[in-house]
Amino acid sequence: MRSTALLIFLVVSVSRATSLTISAPVKRSTSSDVAELSETTIVLFSETQKFVESMKDNADSLLTIYLSFQGAPLSDPEYHLPEVKVDNLPTAAMDNATFLNQTDEIRLKNNLYFYSAIVQFLQVAMTEQEDLNPAEESLKAKFQEAMANINTLISKISAIMTQMGMSVTVTFPDPLVVPYEGSAIFKQKLRGGVICKEYKERVLLTKRDFEFFAKKYHEQLIQQQEQEE
Protein backbone atom coordinates (compact mmCIF):
# COMPACT_ATOMS: atom_id res chain seq x y z
CA MET A 1 0.00 0.00 0.00
CA ARG A 2 2.85 2.39 0.82
CA SER A 3 4.50 2.10 -2.60
CA THR A 4 1.12 2.49 -4.32
CA ALA A 5 0.38 5.62 -2.33
CA LEU A 6 3.76 7.08 -3.21
CA LEU A 7 3.20 6.35 -6.87
CA ILE A 8 -0.21 8.03 -6.81
CA PHE A 9 1.34 11.03 -5.11
CA LEU A 10 3.98 11.32 -7.82
CA VAL A 11 1.35 11.36 -10.55
CA VAL A 12 -0.85 13.87 -8.73
CA SER A 13 2.10 16.06 -7.82
CA VAL A 14 3.23 16.32 -11.44
CA SER A 15 0.02 18.09 -12.35
CA ARG A 16 0.42 20.51 -9.44
CA ALA A 17 4.15 21.27 -9.69
CA THR A 18 3.70 23.66 -12.60
CA SER A 19 6.84 25.64 -11.82
CA LEU A 20 9.13 22.75 -12.84
CA THR A 21 10.80 23.47 -16.17
CA ILE A 22 11.19 20.52 -18.53
CA SER A 23 14.33 21.84 -20.18
CA ALA A 24 16.03 23.01 -17.00
CA PRO A 25 19.46 21.48 -16.30
CA VAL A 26 19.69 18.98 -13.47
CA LYS A 27 20.99 20.38 -10.19
CA ARG A 28 22.32 18.09 -7.51
CA SER A 29 22.60 18.66 -3.80
CA THR A 30 26.10 17.84 -2.61
CA SER A 31 24.73 16.81 0.78
CA SER A 32 21.76 14.64 -0.14
CA ASP A 33 22.15 13.81 -3.85
CA VAL A 34 18.57 14.90 -4.47
CA ALA A 35 18.25 16.19 -8.02
CA GLU A 36 15.79 18.92 -8.99
CA LEU A 37 13.80 16.92 -11.51
CA SER A 38 11.81 18.26 -14.41
CA GLU A 39 8.16 17.36 -14.79
CA THR A 40 9.06 15.07 -17.69
CA THR A 41 11.56 13.15 -15.57
CA ILE A 42 9.10 12.71 -12.72
CA VAL A 43 6.57 11.26 -15.17
CA LEU A 44 9.25 8.89 -16.51
CA PHE A 45 10.07 7.68 -13.01
CA SER A 46 6.39 7.06 -12.32
CA GLU A 47 5.83 5.21 -15.60
CA THR A 48 8.94 3.09 -15.08
CA GLN A 49 7.91 2.16 -11.55
CA LYS A 50 4.56 0.91 -12.82
CA PHE A 51 6.21 -0.97 -15.68
CA VAL A 52 8.66 -2.74 -13.36
CA GLU A 53 5.76 -3.86 -11.18
CA SER A 54 4.11 -5.34 -14.28
CA MET A 55 7.29 -7.32 -15.08
CA LYS A 56 7.20 -9.33 -11.86
CA ASP A 57 4.67 -11.97 -12.95
CA ASN A 58 6.65 -12.83 -16.09
CA ALA A 59 9.94 -12.98 -14.18
CA ASP A 60 8.40 -15.32 -11.59
CA SER A 61 6.74 -17.60 -14.11
CA LEU A 62 9.74 -17.76 -16.46
CA LEU A 63 11.86 -19.47 -13.81
CA THR A 64 9.02 -21.80 -12.76
CA ILE A 65 8.18 -22.86 -16.31
CA TYR A 66 11.84 -23.17 -17.28
CA LEU A 67 12.59 -25.58 -14.44
CA SER A 68 9.42 -27.60 -15.09
CA PHE A 69 10.69 -28.57 -18.55
CA GLN A 70 14.22 -29.61 -17.52
CA GLY A 71 13.47 -32.99 -15.97
CA ALA A 72 14.57 -34.30 -12.57
CA PRO A 73 16.02 -33.03 -10.34
CA LEU A 74 15.50 -29.48 -11.68
CA SER A 75 11.78 -30.00 -12.21
CA ASP A 76 11.20 -31.35 -8.69
CA PRO A 77 9.01 -28.86 -6.74
CA GLU A 78 11.34 -28.90 -3.74
CA TYR A 79 14.51 -28.45 -5.80
CA HIS A 80 16.61 -25.36 -5.05
CA LEU A 81 19.10 -24.08 -7.59
CA PRO A 82 22.65 -24.18 -6.22
CA GLU A 83 24.93 -21.16 -6.20
CA VAL A 84 26.63 -21.65 -9.54
CA LYS A 85 28.96 -19.06 -11.07
CA VAL A 86 28.23 -18.16 -14.67
CA ASP A 87 31.02 -16.15 -16.28
CA ASN A 88 30.13 -12.44 -16.67
CA LEU A 89 26.53 -12.97 -15.53
CA PRO A 90 25.55 -9.86 -13.53
CA THR A 91 24.13 -10.57 -10.11
CA ALA A 92 21.17 -9.10 -8.27
CA ALA A 93 22.81 -9.75 -4.89
CA MET A 94 23.24 -6.57 -2.84
CA ASP A 95 23.43 -5.87 0.88
CA ASN A 96 21.17 -3.25 2.42
CA ALA A 97 23.95 -0.76 3.16
CA THR A 98 25.06 -0.78 -0.48
CA PHE A 99 21.45 -0.42 -1.62
CA LEU A 100 20.86 2.64 0.54
CA ASN A 101 24.18 4.37 -0.19
CA GLN A 102 23.96 4.41 -3.99
CA THR A 103 23.71 7.73 -5.80
CA ASP A 104 20.92 8.12 -8.35
CA GLU A 105 23.42 7.69 -11.16
CA ILE A 106 24.92 4.49 -9.76
CA ARG A 107 21.46 3.07 -9.00
CA LEU A 108 20.24 3.74 -12.52
CA LYS A 109 23.45 2.65 -14.22
CA ASN A 110 23.53 -0.63 -12.26
CA ASN A 111 20.05 -1.35 -13.59
CA LEU A 112 20.97 -0.33 -17.12
CA TYR A 113 24.05 -2.57 -17.08
CA PHE A 114 22.22 -5.55 -15.62
CA TYR A 115 19.35 -5.55 -18.08
CA SER A 116 21.54 -4.77 -21.08
CA ALA A 117 23.60 -7.83 -20.15
CA ILE A 118 20.92 -10.26 -18.96
CA VAL A 119 18.92 -9.94 -22.17
CA GLN A 120 21.89 -11.46 -24.01
CA PHE A 121 22.13 -14.33 -21.52
CA LEU A 122 18.40 -14.99 -21.83
CA GLN A 123 18.72 -15.10 -25.61
CA VAL A 124 21.40 -17.79 -25.31
CA ALA A 125 19.31 -19.77 -22.79
CA MET A 126 16.30 -19.61 -25.12
CA THR A 127 18.38 -20.79 -28.08
CA GLU A 128 19.68 -23.72 -26.03
CA GLN A 129 16.12 -24.64 -25.06
CA GLU A 130 15.08 -24.65 -28.70
CA ASP A 131 17.49 -27.58 -29.07
CA LEU A 132 16.73 -29.27 -25.74
CA ASN A 133 12.94 -28.71 -25.72
CA PRO A 134 12.00 -27.81 -29.31
CA ALA A 135 8.29 -28.53 -28.85
CA GLU A 136 7.79 -26.30 -25.82
CA GLU A 137 6.42 -23.14 -27.42
CA SER A 138 5.10 -21.85 -24.09
CA LEU A 139 8.64 -21.71 -22.72
CA LYS A 140 9.90 -19.88 -25.80
CA ALA A 141 7.03 -17.41 -25.47
CA LYS A 142 8.01 -16.70 -21.86
CA PHE A 143 11.59 -15.98 -22.90
CA GLN A 144 10.39 -13.69 -25.67
CA GLU A 145 8.09 -11.83 -23.30
CA ALA A 146 10.91 -11.38 -20.79
CA MET A 147 13.28 -10.02 -23.42
CA ALA A 148 10.64 -7.65 -24.80
CA ASN A 149 9.98 -6.37 -21.27
CA ILE A 150 13.70 -5.89 -20.67
CA ASN A 151 14.18 -3.92 -23.89
CA THR A 152 11.28 -1.64 -22.93
CA LEU A 153 12.76 -1.15 -19.46
CA ILE A 154 16.20 -0.37 -20.92
CA SER A 155 14.58 2.31 -23.07
CA LYS A 156 12.78 3.84 -20.08
CA ILE A 157 15.86 3.85 -17.84
CA SER A 158 17.96 5.34 -20.65
CA ALA A 159 15.39 8.10 -21.11
CA ILE A 160 15.49 8.94 -17.39
CA MET A 161 19.29 9.02 -17.37
CA THR A 162 19.38 11.22 -20.46
CA GLN A 163 16.91 13.64 -18.86
CA MET A 164 19.16 13.79 -15.79
CA GLY A 165 22.29 14.45 -17.85
CA MET A 166 23.84 11.02 -17.22
CA SER A 167 25.81 8.89 -19.66
CA VAL A 168 24.01 5.79 -20.93
CA THR A 169 27.16 4.15 -22.29
CA VAL A 170 27.55 0.55 -21.13
CA THR A 171 30.73 -1.47 -21.68
CA PHE A 172 30.78 -5.28 -21.54
CA PRO A 173 33.56 -7.86 -21.45
CA ASP A 174 34.25 -9.39 -24.86
CA PRO A 175 32.71 -11.88 -25.20
CA LEU A 176 29.99 -11.17 -22.65
CA VAL A 177 28.38 -14.61 -22.86
CA VAL A 178 31.16 -17.16 -22.78
CA PRO A 179 30.27 -20.10 -25.07
CA TYR A 180 29.36 -23.23 -23.14
CA GLU A 181 31.95 -25.94 -23.58
CA GLY A 182 31.26 -29.58 -22.97
CA SER A 183 28.48 -32.07 -23.53
CA ALA A 184 26.99 -32.18 -20.03
CA ILE A 185 23.35 -31.36 -20.75
CA PHE A 186 22.52 -31.07 -17.05
CA LYS A 187 25.09 -28.30 -16.59
CA GLN A 188 23.66 -26.51 -19.61
CA LYS A 189 20.16 -26.72 -18.15
CA LEU A 190 21.46 -25.61 -14.78
CA ARG A 191 23.11 -22.54 -16.29
CA GLY A 192 19.81 -21.52 -17.89
CA GLY A 193 18.08 -21.87 -14.54
CA VAL A 194 20.65 -19.65 -12.84
CA ILE A 195 20.17 -17.00 -15.56
CA CYS A 196 16.38 -17.04 -15.07
CA LYS A 197 16.81 -16.88 -11.29
CA GLU A 198 19.09 -13.82 -11.48
CA TYR A 199 16.58 -12.11 -13.75
CA LYS A 200 13.74 -12.81 -11.32
CA GLU A 201 15.73 -11.51 -8.35
CA ARG A 202 16.85 -8.38 -10.19
CA VAL A 203 13.28 -7.46 -11.10
CA LEU A 204 12.48 -7.52 -7.38
CA LEU A 205 15.51 -5.32 -6.66
CA THR A 206 14.58 -2.91 -9.45
CA LYS A 207 11.06 -2.69 -8.05
CA ARG A 208 12.64 -1.74 -4.72
CA ASP A 209 14.89 0.81 -6.48
CA PHE A 210 11.95 2.63 -8.00
CA GLU A 211 10.00 2.55 -4.75
CA PHE A 212 13.08 4.21 -3.25
CA PHE A 213 13.02 6.87 -5.98
CA ALA A 214 9.30 7.44 -5.42
CA LYS A 215 9.87 8.09 -1.72
CA LYS A 216 12.93 10.25 -2.34
CA TYR A 217 11.30 12.58 -4.85
CA HIS A 218 7.91 12.48 -3.17
CA GLU A 219 9.52 14.30 -0.25
CA GLN A 220 11.25 16.76 -2.57
CA LEU A 221 7.95 17.68 -4.22
CA ILE A 222 6.35 18.39 -0.86
CA GLN A 223 9.17 20.81 -0.05
CA GLN A 224 8.87 22.51 -3.43
CA GLN A 225 5.12 22.97 -3.06
CA GLU A 226 5.49 24.42 0.44
CA GLN A 227 7.98 26.97 -0.91
CA GLU A 228 5.54 27.98 -3.66
CA GLU A 229 2.63 28.55 -1.24
The stretch 166-172 carries a mean pLDDT of 95
199 within domain boundaries: yes
137 within domain boundaries: yes
27 within domain boundaries: no
Q: What is the pLDDT of residue 197?
A: 96
25 within domain boundaries: no
* pLDDT of 4 higher than 50: no
8 within domain boundaries: yes
10 within domain boundaries: yes
HEC letters along the chain: CHHHHHHHHHHHHHHHCCCCCCCCCCCECCCCCCECCCHHHHHHHHHHHHHHHHHHHHHHHHHHHHHHCCCCCCCCCCCCCCCCCCCCCCCCCCCHHHHHHCCHHHHHHHHHHHHHHHHHHHHHHHHHHHHHCCCCHHHHHHHHHHHHHHHHHHHHHHHHHHHCCCCCCCCCCCCCCCCCCCCCHHHHHHHHHHHHHHHHHHHHHHHHHHHHHHHHHHHHHHHHHHHHC
Structural domain including 186 reads 2-20+34-228
62 within domain boundaries: yes
State the total domains in the chain.
1
**Contacts of the segment 191-194: beta carbons below 8 A, 24+ positions apart:** 191/84, 191/86, 191/125, 192/66, 192/70, 192/125, 192/128, 192/129, 193/63, 193/66, 193/67, 193/70, 193/74, 193/81, 194/81, 194/84, 194/86, 194/89
* pLDDT of 150 higher than 80: yes
26 within domain boundaries: no
Backbone angles phi, psi at 18, to 5 degrees: -75, -15
The stretch 54-71 carries a mean pLDDT of 95
Mean of the per-residue pLDDT values of the chain? 82
**pLDDT class for 204, splitting at 50, 70, 90?**
very high
**pLDDT tens, position by position, 107-126:** 999 999 999 999 999 999 99
Q: What is the pLDDT of residue 222?
A: 55
* pLDDT of 48 higher than 90: yes
Question: pTM of the full predicted structure?
Answer: 0.80
What CATH number is attached to the domain comprising 142? 1.20.1250.10
